[in-house]
Each structure stands twice: as C-alpha cells, then as structure tokens.
Amino acid sequence: MSSGVGYNDQTGAETAVEAGQETTPTTSSSGAAFGLFSADFKKNEDLKEMLESNKESLKLEAMKRVVGLISKGKNASELFPAVVKNVASKNIELKKLVYVYLVRYAEEQQDLALLSISTFQRALKDPNQFIRASALRVLSSIRVPIIVPIMMLAIKEAATDLSPYVRKTSAHAIQKLYSLDPDQKEQLIEVIEKLLKDKSTLVAGSVVVAFEEVCPDRIDLIHKNYRKLCNLLVDVEEWGQVVIISMLTRYARTQFTSPWKEDAVFDENNEKTFYDSDSEEKKGPTEAKPYMMDPDHRLLLRNTKPLLQSRNTAVVMSVAQLYWHLAPKHEVSVVTKSLVRLLRSHREVQYIVLQNIATMSIQRKGMFEPYMKSFYVRSTDPTHIKTLKLEILTNLANEANISTILREFQTYVKSQDKAFAAATIQAIGRCATNISEVTDTCLNGLVLLLSNRDETVVAESVVVIKKLLQTQPTQHSEIIKHMAKLFDNITVPMARASILWLMGEYCDRVPKIAPDVLRKMAKIFTTEEDIVKLQTVNLAAKLYLTNSKQTKLLTQYILNLGKYDQNYDIRDRTRFIRQLIVPSEKSGALNKYARRILLAPKPAPVLESAFKDRDRFQLGTLSHSLNVKASGYQELSDWPAVAPDPSVRNVEVIEPVKEWAPSLGKAKQPKSDAKFYSDDEEKEEEGSERSTSSEDDSSSSSSSNSDSGSEEESSEESEKTSSGSGGSSSGSEKSSSDAESEQRQKKKTKKRTRKPAASDSDSDENGNADQASSSATESSSESESDSGSDSPAPQKKAEANTQPKMAVKSKKEVSLLDLDDFSPVVTNAPKPSVISSSLLSDLEGLSLSNVSSAVQVTSPSFGPVKTYELLHHMTGKGLAAKYHFPRQPCLYQPSMVSVQVILTNNSDHALEEIHIGERSPASLNVHCFNTIERLEPGASVTVSMGVDFSDSTQAANFQLCTKEDQFGVSIQPAVGELLMPFTMTEADFSREQRNLQGMNETSATVTMATANTPRQAISKQVLSVANVGAVSSSQDNMLRFSGRTVSSKALLLVSLDLKDSSAVLLTINTEKTVMASMLLRDLTRALAQA
Amino acid sequence: MIDSLFLINHSGDIFLEKHWKSVISRSVCDYFFEAKEKAVDPENVAPVLQTPHHYLISIYRDKIFFLSAIQTEVPPLFVIEFLHRVGDTFLDYFGECSETVIKDNVVIVYELLEEMLDNGFPLATESNVLKEMIKPPNILRSVVNTLTGGSNVGNTLPTGQLSNVPWRRAGVKYTNNEAYFDVIEEIDAILDKSGTTVFAEIQGVIEACVRLTGMPDLTLSFMNPRLLDDVSFHPCVRFKRWESERVLSFIPPDGNFTLMSYQVSSQNLVAIPVYVKQNISFLEAGSCGRLDITIGPKQTMGKTVEGLMVTVHMPKAVLTVNLTATQGTHTYDLATKVLVWDIGKLNPQKLPNLRGSLSMQPGAPKPEENPSLNIDLKIQQLAISGLKVSRLDMYGEKYKPFKGVKYLTKAGKFQVRT
C-alpha cells in the first residue's frame, strides 16, 4: 500500500467528517430540545469522539460498541463519517469491524461510502490472497449502484486470479452484483462460464450457486463441465455439494431418458430386485433390456452415493432426492436407511425429513416398511412430528402390518395430546377405507370410541364414522341408531352436523328415529351453530320428502326459523329448500325432481393423504415443505422422450470420451491389483497437483486442457480399481455374512455386483435377497413371540378398544405376522369389568363357615360373577352375546369348565339357527349348546356350554353362527376360572402344602390399598378372582384356600399371611407353576385394589 | 440463500440481528411470533413458515430461537443444518449457547457470523478454520488485549481454507501428543406397559479429542465392525477405506470433533439395562391417584448403572404429588407438571422405589392415558452393543502419541409406556 495515496485518502475522509460535524451542532441542539433523544445523541457523540481519537484501543472499543448497536438493530448510521475513515486502519480487527459497519450502512449513505472504495481497489492488488479476497468481498457487498462498473472489473479480474480462494470470492460477488444490477447479466454469465471450467473444489460450489442465481436456464453451460463436477463432488465442501447436487438433478432430467419405463414392472416387487446393482444393468445382456442408461447418468448416481454417509443432513437429503428423481425405481431404496438415520437428528431436521418420507411413502410403501418402527410416536415428540409420523404409518399400512399398526394407534388414541388423538382417529379412518379387511374392525373400534370421555375424540370419531358409513351404508343402521342416541351428549358442532347428515341421508333405515331427532332439533334450532343449522334444514327437507306425514309441520317450523336467521347462508338455504320441496305455483319444474336432487346417491369421500399432491414439487425443497410454489423455485422437467446428444458433454480430449462410450462397457474389467491402498494418497496428490496446475492454468490453457484429460482418466482408473478390489474382498466375506445382518448384506451384494456380473448372478442375488428378507421376518416374528411369552397377558383395564383387538385377531388368517403367537398378550383383555358394589353386597351374604369338614365337597357355588362380552351387537349385526363362568361343575364332562352364554337379539328381525361353527385350535374340546332355532327381536336366551381349556388360559376361539352370518368370537378364561374348589381340613392343607414346596411354591408380598382390611374383605377378593374354597383356619392372621384345576385335577393351595396392617404374604402351592404365577398376579392385583 | 438471522429469546425479544444482504426489517418476525403464540410450546412451532414476502426457517435450541429470513427457494434442511452449525460454533467458542453469553460476546459473535456466511452462502463453518481467524475468548487474552491493544482477530490468515484437508490447520504443535476417543452409545427404546420392548435401537457416536503435532494420519480399527450398520462420518474419514476394509482412516482435525456416528444393526437384540415396574393409577371417582415405580437392573453386563433419572409428564389434572422415594430426590414442577426423580446410582441389592399419592384437581375427569416414563441413565466403561476398538495406528509422524479409548452407554429416547 503506498502511504501517499493513503494519506490523501484519509484527508479526504476527514474533510467529509468535518463537513458532517459542522452540521451536527444544529441537530444536537434540536435534539436537546427534545429531551427524549438527547441521551441517544450523547452516547453516539462520545462514540464519535472515540473514533476520531488517535488511540487504536479507543477506536476499537468504540467500534465494538457500534457493532453492539448494529446487532441490536439500533440505528448507528450518523456515525458513518467517523467510522469510514478507519477503513484503512492497520489493525485487522478494527478493519473488520469497519467492514461490518460499512456493509450494513453503505446502502443508506451511498455518497460517503464511495470514500472507502479506493482503499478496496488498492487492496485488490495486494500480494496476499486473503486481503484480495476480503477486499472483493466487502467491495461487492457495498450496495451502491454507482460502483457497479468497478465491481464488474474487480470480479473479472478476480475470476482469473491465481488463488482459488479469490476466485471463490469472485463467484460470490457475481450474485451480489447481479442482485444490485440485473442488467449486467450477460457479462456475468461470461464470468460464470469461465469459472465453471475451474478445477478447484473450492470454486465449484460457489460458482454453481452463482449459476443457479443468475442463469439457471443456461443448461448448455453445464455440458462440458458435467463430468468434472460429478468427479469433484466428493471433495467439494458440504454446502457446495448440496447446491451442485440439486443443480445436477435438474440437469439430468433434461439430458437423459427415463430409467423408469422398463422398470415399471418392478414397481410392486421392488424388494426383490433392489439388490441388483447399477452397473449390472449397464453391462448386462443388452437384448434383455432395450433401455441403456447413459453412462453419464450412471456416473452421477455412482458419485453421489457415498455422500449418503455425510454428516450434513442437507447433503444426505439432497442425495436422497436425486435418487428419487433420477435413479431406476429399484435403486431408490438405497437412500432409505440414510433418511431414517436423519430422524435421529434435531427436531427441525426430523420435521423436514418426515415430510419428505411422507411423500415418498405414498408412492413407494416398500421403501420404508422395514423401518416402520422408527416412525412410532413418542409421547415427548412435538405435535407436528407426531402427526407426520402418523401420516407415514398410515401410508405404510397394508394387509400384513395393519394389525400391528392398529395396535399402535390404540395407544395413540389415548394420548393426552388431543389434537394428536384426533389425528389418530382420522388415520384409523384412512386405514379402514384403504384396507378392506379391517374396515369392520376399525368401524367397531371407532363406535366404541363414541363412549369416550373426551369430546374431541368423540366428535372426531363421529366425523370419521360418517365418512366410513358412506362407503358402505347398507349394513350399518345399528351404528346410525347408536349415534342418534349419543346425539344429545355431543356438543361439538362438526360432530352434531355429521350425525344430522347421516340421519337425513339414511332416513329410510331409521324411519322412527329420524323424525324424533328432527323434533328435538326444532326445539333448540336457534341456539345451534350455523353448520348444525344447515344440516338441520337438510334433514328436514329429506324427511319431508320421505315421510311427509309425520314431519310436515316440523319442517315448516324449521324453515320458518331458518328464514329469519341472522346468517345469510342459512336464509339462502332455507329459501332454496322451501322452493324445492314445498309445491307452490311459483316453484316450477324443479319441484318434481326434488327427491332426485336431495336424495341422489352420493359418492363416498375418499380419505387420502395430505401429502398426496406434494410430489409435484422436487423433494427436499422449500416449496415441497410448504406445499406452495416458493419464489425462485425451478420446476423439474419431465424426462425427454429422446435423449439430447450426449456428445455435448465430451471434453475436447478424445481419450476420456472413449472411456464413456457405452459399447465399451465390457472394457471395464476390474484391475484388481494391489494398487488399492495407494488410492487415497494418489487422490490427495492429485488434489495438490490440481491446485498447482490451476495456478498456471491462466497462462497456458491448452496445456491445462490436456492435463485435465489425463487427470480425469487417472481418477477414473483409481476409482475402478478400488471398486473392483472392494468387490472381491466383500466377495470373500460373503459366506460369513450370511449369518450376519442382512442390512450389511445388502451393501455387500451391491458392491459385489459391481464386478462385471456373470449372467447367472442375477438369480443368485435374488435368492440371497429372498433369504435375507425371509430370515429377517423370521427373526422379527420370533422376537415378538418371545416377548409375548415372557410377559404373559397383561390384564388391561376394560377399555373401549378391546373390541378391535379381538376382531383383528379373529381375522388372523389374513395377517402375515405371527399374530396368533402374539395374540394372547393383546387379546386376552376380556373386560374384567370393575366389580360393582352390588356384587360386593352379593358376596356379603356368603358365609365362609358353611364349609363342612367333610373330605370332598364340591364347592359353595359362587353367585353371579363378572360377565364378559363375547359379541358386541354392533359387530354381530344385532346379535349380542355375553358370557360368564357360573363356577359349577360341568355337566357334560368333568374336565370342562362350564360357561353360560346369554344371547340377545338386538336387531329388528328374528335371528334363526344360532349355533356354534368352526373352532380353533382344532383340538379344542367344546360341548356346544343346542342350536337355537329362532330368537325373536329383543328376546334373549341363556345357554350353557362346556369348554375344556386343558388348564391353560389360551382363548377358545369359535364361530357363532346364525342362519346368514358367522361371527368369530373367543372366550378367554381368567386363570381363576380354571379351578374347582376342593375342600380339606387345615391339617390336610398343611400336609399338602409341605409336599408342594420349592419349585412348586410361588409367593409375593402384597401391599393393600387400605390398611387393616378386614379378613372378610380379603377372602372375598380372593374368591372373586379364583374359584377356590376356603379352608377353616385356626390362626387369626392366616387365610387358606384350596382348589383343583378342572382339567388335570392338580391341587392348588392359596395361603395368605396377614403380616401387618397393610402387607399380606401371598403363597400359592401347586404343581402347575405357570398357573400359579398367573394366579399370583391376578390375586396381587385384586388385593392391591381392594 | 440466507438473507438475515434473528436471535430471539424465550420471551420473544429479538436480541441480535444480522443481515447478509439488504436489511430486512425485524417486523418480519411478527409472523413468527404469531405462530409461536399459537403453538403454546416453543417446540411445537413449525420450523418453516411462509409470510407474504419472506420465508422464515427457524430452529429452537438452548432456549433461543435462531430465525432466518429467506427470499427464494432453498432446501430447508440446508438452512436448518447451517443454523445448528451456528449454534454449535457458539457452544464451541463460549462453552454454552445462551442469551447472556451471546450478548456478552456480541463482537465475536458478529465476526463469526460475518465469516460463516458470504451473501447468504456458507463460507467457513469448520471450527478449526474459524478459530484461526477469530480467536475464542479467554480471560488471559482479553486482559492482555486491553493492555496492549491487541485483538482477537488472528493476524495469520487461515491456511485450512486452501489445503485439501480444510479441517486441519497447518503447523500444529503440542508437547504432549495425545488422542482420546469416546465411544458413546445411546439406547432408544419404547417399552410397553408389561415391559415388552416395542422398539429398541442403539445409536452411537465416536467423539474424538486429538492433540497431535504435525499432520498425523490415523487408522482406527474395530474388533467387530460388523456391528455397525449405518454410519456417517466426519469429512476427514476416507470412505473408500471404510467400504473395503472397515477401518477408519483419517487425518484428524485438531481438537474436539465427532469422528463418526453409527447405528447398530437391527438384527442384534438390544440389551435393555434396566427394568421398570410401575403402577400408576387414577381413581375413577376420588380426586387422587397412586404412583408406584421400582427400577431394577436387567442386562447391565456387570456394570453399575449411574445417573438414573425418571421424568414423568403428568396429566394436566394432577395438582400435587405426595411421594416418598427410597433413594434419590424427586421434584414436581407445578407449572409444567413434570415429575423428576433423580435416583443416582442403581444399587441392585436395594432397588429404588418411588411411591405415594397424586392429588388431582377436584372434579376433573380421570385422565385417559397414564403418563409415560422417560428414563435417563449412564453406564460407564460399557458400549452396550459390544463394540470394541481394537487398535489405533499413526502414520506420517515420528513421535509416540498417548492413546485412550473410553466407552459410555446412555439412555437416549428411552420411554416406558404405562
């Protein structure tokens, strides 16, 4: 820097400052007049003084405070003159802070900003590359139109700078200049063209950003640089990678033909084919596949794949979208695992990734199905993440996994987050329409939710049920009736409106109820919400047409109310309806068609994903995330029917082009020599070479050109060798990897196929893949069944949604998962309805002392016990069945447990020939009740049957048949019901107990809910759980019960030691240890709740 | 790309703004405040928002919203990732990322932001490069600086930017050469009511602290690399070496960095270190409920479980709790309804138990769902997946470095449904 010029410059600045100062006194005095501003002025005044002092440290301090002001968004622009003259300071930190200030305020103080320009112009010639770069950076950030020519010049110069860092800065400057003055476009494109040829990884990202900003449509500029960009990609810094990948995605869509046409066949069974590798396709027998992927297309896919392992989530996402938009369908799945990995990142990342997965999963279920569990919702997830996960789970649902998903949904419905619970109900509705097998199950589940305590849940269920009923209204008059009953208790307008609509639409099915509902509505019409009023008017109109005798007056009343409503919509609707349905001289021709207009069959609404139409946007973009076209969004073009000339991508030198000719694919034999280790070093050397070679680049372009050719070639070669040796090593590993994770195997296989594959390798791989996937399912089912067995049957509190579980189970022939193994866990909740107080009072009468000491008496039979639901009348189309265990010895066979079934006909027609059909397991020994010929509406009948449970709590499944229908039902015995009381003396009891010690003894200490529970109450609890007999006891603190298992007559002894006021030591002695532990659990629970 | 950045604190004050292009008025944040108001919980604010002229992409971390205003199409993850990088850099420089610390160091923050973005496009995000340009604050230096008028801004310009190992600065020198690796694994799991595993997976990271002179080339190999299913690497790791030989070969950055993160293949059964016996019930009629939680060791591989902590988000209706713990302390935050039971070390002989009653708002309906339990724990000297580092070799330098590997297992998102 020449000091002379610097000095002149400074004086120039100073004069300006003085000029500025001259004006300040007036402003400050006026400021003082307004007391409010004076403080501010004072402050800036002393800053100004500090800035003008001679001490560096004071200046620095002042600048720091100025930056503080800027950061808070406070205006510090009046300090501009004082600050700007420090631009040439020697203190780097001071200078940087001045730059910060300058960039921030130059736009507002254009004239003064010009004072600093000469400093930058000088710095642009500095021998230090960083000073050049930072000067260019600041110069181009000063948004002052007058200096556009200076900037242009500086950019052009910097673009040919020897330092790649300066060239990078010039690429950034291009965008700044463009936004300042778009007229410079043509000149800037020239610079971009030049910079695109740059071989430095440093420049590549930045210049592509400039390209995207300035001339994204000039695709022709990319041709020659395409291969270079592909090859450099791995070494470009991460942010540049994102931009390059998205640019190349667009490029590829215009230049290559679609790889999807031939693959369309694979769309469904892509799981099998996806292990096939890329290169195979290229080198495989051409006659089999007329489609040949352009080698450049393949190059892009191959070079971006390693980036899936990047730590930068944006890079991973951009590779994923590249594969989604460009790769053959069966290759897209390689991105799955990486996307799932991103779900462990920050919440915001999850949000975006889940959105993209939601879109992908609509089209390609198979991609994400293996990772279904990764989308399970945690209660701590934010709501928007929860709903997205729900969306994806719904998209992934199919016949095979629906039972698992519904089970998961059941947990979600109970969520405290009501918005999420409502979304879950919607999701259940969507599953129901998409998968016909579970429609009934879902519908029943939803009906049960109608009795939920939370109103939003009920309302949402009503709305969803309405939609479901529309798809199949024929069989569901029951549900409509049920909803009519609920109507009075529901207050959510949307739900009320839905019920009214249903009434109207299917008024012929509920001919008695609908007019009554209308009557009720007429009473409270004025207090309802608008949406409810509209539906009331609709209901009135429809009823008027079908049942005018009963509803004529009501309809007129409602129409009159509607006529004077405050809402014009309602007034309009009323007027319209009146003209339509009430015949009058004015009403004209339409009146005749009123019935056809109002009661036309309506198409059922299609419940579909909110992400249905998102695929019109490129994945990973802002537009996709918002589902709105963002400004500056570049449409992804369709594949061209015929590929444009691929030779445009050829670089002048001929040799590398030959490499790429597809016909020479065979020439790509792996040179699996030991060169592999040197690979990396070679690359590095190459990199350094590259930077040196780029230095002399500007001097001799021709030499650098040939240079580039050979360079490219060598990198090609090294890549090939590495992949070759990689392949062989993995090949040797292959045998062992069979037993290993199949995930790894995927990778391996893929790598392996990179070798020129023999023609038979295809089938081989499919075999492998099959094997792997089948083993995967096997293991997963195993683990499920495991977990099932070691945590037996949690007796869930009776909950509305036990119903769907049962039904799901009865459909197990369709579910591929090993549901039957698992089912005991889930399905065994036979509504152990809370013992009512009346029951307790019943028990009161039971005296325990009546047990005689006679050796073998069969039982004090134990009054009416818990009743379980066998078949809900919604499911049974009117037929309801309940069962209970009467605890009497079975008449038919001693090894059977007797069960009483109460059948009730809730439908409006008689049911005929009720009997028991098929049962499972087949070995199950059931004594059926005699066929009931006819059951009148409203009548009920009690029948008894005997079931041999063989001392296990496995459910007895059988079909309850009527003349027309069959319903799968199951009886799930509680372990206590598999016992018979066995009477013995205390001495006998003690003797037997001694014989059954060690392994045959299980015990636990139970803490009672309330202290000092009377013995009476405790024994009542025990007797209510298990069908055992009390043994008279001489000890005050001991309670003893004895029983035998029904089937194998094994002795079972229960003793309770009342240790202190609240703790009880519970001991069970029996050979049947499994039963003992189950009984122990049941008893513990019963006692703890007592 | 990124036009402006606003830092907003928990209560909605904008305490820092920075513009890389033309100034965007801070009134643009009003749209964000509106959304924030609606979302109630700051975590529920959608990360991407649309306003008439701008798009707002925000992240929320350490009680600060990093809000960026954008004018044109840009991959949202690009912005989110960058914003997190900014947060990480603050953490790296100041030890924490909080409003006070940012306000105290506003000049450095500004200098950093200036270097990290140019015209909205990331320029230098590598911590090694940044530290060469802008020295992190420390007390000694700031004292010296005030006396001598020296500065925080490095006089030497970063070399890393230009080399082909941009993450490592040249001329590193240490008297004690050491390389430490921490293998940290987290268990993510959902257990259902009965203790059955609904979902479990292990994910791990290898955090490295490398202080080695010169340009060392390290190779880290594992006893059982097959365990690793899905991996992502620091850019320094040579991916080809990993693909072919399953070893990590790299020239390390100087200082602390995350070498790799991985997921353990889903085939391996995940060992769940503790079991939880819980019984939370709300009585139908009375306005009270009961809670009883016991934790015991399950598969701990003979190590002790430490730092055990249970967090329960109670339903809104729970007013107070009256609990006794046999071990550790428990607190119940009345405002957020969060019950935290800090247990500490798990003693297998005497299982910690927390029991007592919950008193509910009178008249409130019985909560539909029992709250789930979030478990936090630590096990020292154990990688629960069984991953083991077999050896670390160094090439390229003559000296003998001191090497060390540490293992740690933590609970990630470990949830027990009740």
Task: Single out the residue in B162, B189, B212 at which a domain terminates.
Answer: B162
For residue B125, the domain's CATH number is 3.30.450.60
Contact B151 A242 (CB under 8 A): no
Domain assignment of residue B170, yes or no? no
Predicted pLDDT of residue A865: 62
- Say yes or no to pLDDT of A81 above 90: no
Nearest residue to A353 via CA among A328, A330, A336, A331: A336
Domain assignment of residue B171, yes or no? no
User: What residues in B contact A353, CB-CB < 8 Å?
Assistant: 77
> Is the domain of B185 the same as that of B226?
yes
Q: Which residue has the higher pLDDT, A57 or A12?
A: A57
Interface test with A, best of B244, B269, B298, B410 (most A CBs within 10 A): B244
Q: Is A417 on the interface with B (CB under 8 A)?
A: no
User: What residues in A contact B190, CB-CB < 8 Å?
Assistant: 376, 378
- Inter-residue contact A572 to A586 (CB < 8 Å): no
User: What residues in A contact B198, CB-CB < 8 Å?
Assistant: 373, 376, 408
Taking a contact as any Cβ pair under 8 Å apart, which residues of chain B between 122 and 151 contact chain A?
122-123, 125, 146, 149, 151
User: What residues in A contact B193, CB-CB < 8 Å?
Assistant: 794, 796
Contact B44 A384 (CB under 8 A): yes
- Say yes or no to pLDDT of A318 above 90: yes
- Which range has the worst mean pLDDT, A458-462, A475-479, A503-507? A475-479
> Is the domain of B21 the same as that of B144?
yes
- Inter-residue contact B184 to B207 (CB < 8 Å): yes
SS3 annotation, A504-523:
HHCCCCCCCHHHHHHHHHHH
Q: What values do phi and psi take at A1057, rounded to 5?
A: -105, 110
User: What residues in B contact A422, CB-CB < 8 Å?
Assistant: none
> Is the domain of B372 the same as that of B390?
no
Average per-residue pLDDT for chain A: 73
Partners of B139 in the β-ladder: none
ipTM summary value: 0.88
Residue A301 CA: distances (Å) to CA of A205, A291, A320, A331: 18, 17, 11, 10
Q: Is B246 on the interface with A (CB under 8 A)?
A: no
Q: Is B188 on the interface with A (CB under 8 A)?
A: yes
Q: Is B268 on the interface with A (CB under 8 A)?
A: yes
In chain B, the residue whose alpha carbon lies closest to the alpha carbon of A210 is B121
Instruction: Give the pairing of strands B373-380 and B217-222.
Output: unpaired
User: Of A68, A338, A632, which is closest to B73 when you measure between CB atoms?
Assistant: A632
- Say yes or no to pLDDT of A841 above 50: no
- Say yes or no to pLDDT of B148 above 80: no
Domain that holds residue B336: 274-380
> Is the domain of B73 the same as that of B37?
yes
Summarised one tens digit per residue, pLDDT across range A765-822 is: 444 444 444 444 444 444 444 443 444 444 444 443 444 444 444 433 333 333 333 3
Contact B161 A165 (CB under 8 A): yes
pLDDT confidence of A475, banded at 50, 70, 90?
Answer: low
Instruction: Name the domain count of chain B.
Output: 3
Summarised one tens digit per residue, pLDDT across range A706-737 is: 444 444 444 444 444 444 444 444 444 444 44
**Closest approach of chain B CAs to the CA of A299, in angstroms?**
17
- Residue A238, H or E segment: helix A238-255
**Closest approach of chain B CAs to the CA of A94, in angstroms?**
8
Residue A411's CB is within 10 A of a number of other CB atoms, namely 20
Taking a contact as any Cβ pair under 8 Å apart, which residues of chain A between 668 and 697 contact chain B?
676, 679-680, 684, 687-688, 691
- Residue A981, H or E segment: strand A979-981
Domain assignment of residue B412, yes or no? yes
- Say yes or no to pLDDT of A1048 above 90: no
> Is the domain of B122 the same as that of B183?
no
**Closest approach of chain A CAs to the CA of B12, in angstroms?**
14
> Is the domain of B265 the same as that of B279?
no
Q: Is B333 on the interface with A (CB under 8 A)?
A: no
> Is the domain of B341 the same as that of B397?
no
- Say yes or no to pLDDT of A939 above 90: no
> Is the domain of B63 the same as that of B100?
yes
Highest mean pLDDT among A455-459, A675-679, B22-26: B22-26
> Is the domain of B239 the same as that of B331?
no
Cβ burial, residue A798 (10 Å; 0-12/13-18/19+): middle
**Closest approach of chain B CAs to the CA of A375, in angstroms?**
10
Partners of B64 in the β-ladder: B61
- Which range has the worst mean pLDDT, A199-208, A290-299, A326-335, B59-68? A290-299
Output A151-154 pairs: Cβ under 8 A, ≥24 positions apart.
A151/A176, A151/A177, A151/A180, A152/A177, A152/A184, A152/A187, A154/A121, A154/A124
Predicted pLDDT of residue B141: 58
Predicted pLDDT of residue B157: 53
Domain assignment of residue B323, yes or no? yes
- Asked whether the CA dihedral A987, A991, A992, A996 is positive or negative, the reply is positive
User: Of A71, A631, A676, which is closest to B106 when you measure between CB atoms?
Assistant: A71
Contact A338 B21 (CB under 8 A): no
Average per-residue pLDDT for chain B: 85
Instruction: Output the six-digit token pair for B380.
Output: 């020292």
- Say yes or no to pLDDT of A1023 above 90: no
Highest mean pLDDT among A320-324, A947-951, A1019-1023, B200-204: A320-324
- Say yes or no to pLDDT of B403 above 50: yes
What is chain B's length?
Answer: 418
Summarised one tens digit per residue, pLDDT across range A328-361 is: 888 888 899 889 888 888 999 999 999 999 999 8
User: What residues in B contact A72, CB-CB < 8 Å?
Assistant: 15-17
> Is the domain of B374 the same as that of B278?
yes
Contact A622 B70 (CB under 8 A): yes
pLDDT confidence of B319, banded at 50, 70, 90?
Answer: confident
> Is the domain of B388 the same as that of B374?
no
Domain assignment of residue B133, yes or no? yes
Size of interface A-B (CB pairs under 8 A): 289
- Say yes or no to pLDDT of A320 above 90: yes
Summarised one tens digit per residue, pLDDT across range A570-620 is: 999 898 888 888 777 665 677 777 778 888 877 777 777 777 788 888 888
What does the pLDDT average to over A235-246?
90
Q: What values do phi and psi take at A614, rounded to 5?
A: -75, -20
What does the pLDDT average to over B405-412?
91
Instruction: Output the six-digit token pair for A694.
Output: 């780029």
User: What residues in A contact B44, CB-CB < 8 Å?
Assistant: 382-384
User: Of B111, B195, B266, which is closest to A96 when you measure between CB atoms?
Assistant: B111
Instruction: Output the six-digit token pair for A509.
Output: 């099915």
User: Of B26, B58, B229, which is closest to A744 when you measure between CB atoms?
Assistant: B229
Residue A833 CA: distances (Å) to CA of A195, A467, A947, A969, A977: 78, 32, 22, 18, 15
| Residues in contact with A334: Cβ distance below 8 Å, sequence separation at least 6, in sequence order | A274, A305, A308, A323, A327, A750
Domain assignment of residue B169, yes or no? no
User: What residues in B contact A779, CB-CB < 8 Å?
Assistant: 267
In chain B, the residue whose alpha carbon lies closest to the alpha carbon of A379 is B372
User: What residues in B contact A799, CB-CB < 8 Å?
Assistant: none
Predicted pLDDT of residue A313: 92
Summarised one tens digit per residue, pLDDT across range A639-665 is: 888 878 888 887 755 444 333 434 333
Contact A625 B76 (CB under 8 A): yes
Contact A416 B371 (CB under 8 A): yes
Q: Which residue has the higher pLDDT, A284 or B134?
A: B134
**Pairwise CA distance, residues B352 & B328, whole Å:** 8
Predicted pLDDT of residue A105: 87
Residue A1072 CA: distances (Å) to CA of A894, A896, A1080: 19, 17, 12
Interface test with A, best of B56, B78, B113 (most A CBs within 10 A): B78
User: Of B44, B75, B417, which is closest to A318 when you measure between CB atoms?
Assistant: B75
Summarised one tens digit per residue, pLDDT across range B281-301 is: 887 666 788 889 898 888 877
- Say yes or no to pLDDT of A314 above 70: yes
pLDDT confidence of A517, banded at 50, 70, 90?
Answer: confident
pTM of the complete model: 0.66
Summarised one tens digit per residue, pLDDT across range A548-568 is: 788 888 888 988 888 888 888
**Pairwise CA distance, residues A122 & A1, whole Å:** 7
- Which range has the worst mean pLDDT, A148-162, A279-293, B25-39? A279-293
Contact B75 A242 (CB under 8 A): yes
User: Of B59, B258, B374, which is closest to A348 when you measure between CB atoms?
Assistant: B59
> Is the domain of B66 the same as that of B143?
yes
Q: What is the dihedral of CA A909, A915, A921, A923, to 10 degrees?
A: 180
Beta strands in A546-626 (DSSP E): none
For residue B303, the domain's CATH number is 2.60.40.1170
Phi-psi region of B356 (alpha: psi -120 to 50; beta: other; left: phi over 0): left
Predicted pLDDT of residue B7: 92
Domain assignment of residue B149, yes or no? yes
Nearest residue to A546 via CA among A517, A504, A516: A504
Nearest residue to B8 via CA among B103, B114, B96: B103
- Say yes or no to pLDDT of A388 above 80: yes
Contact A382 B43 (CB under 8 A): yes
Summarised one tens digit per residue, pLDDT across range A153-183 is: 999 989 888 888 889 899 999 998 998 888 8
Domain assignment of residue B47, yes or no? yes
- Say yes or no to pLDDT of B90 above 50: yes
In chain B, the residue whose alpha carbon lies closest to the alpha carbon of A618 is B75
Q: Is B395 on the interface with A (CB under 8 A)?
A: no
pLDDT confidence of B146, banded at 50, 70, 90?
Answer: low
Summarised one tens digit per residue, pLDDT across range B28-69 is: 899 999 988 888 788 888 899 998 889 999 999 888 999 999
Contact A242 B368 (CB under 8 A): no
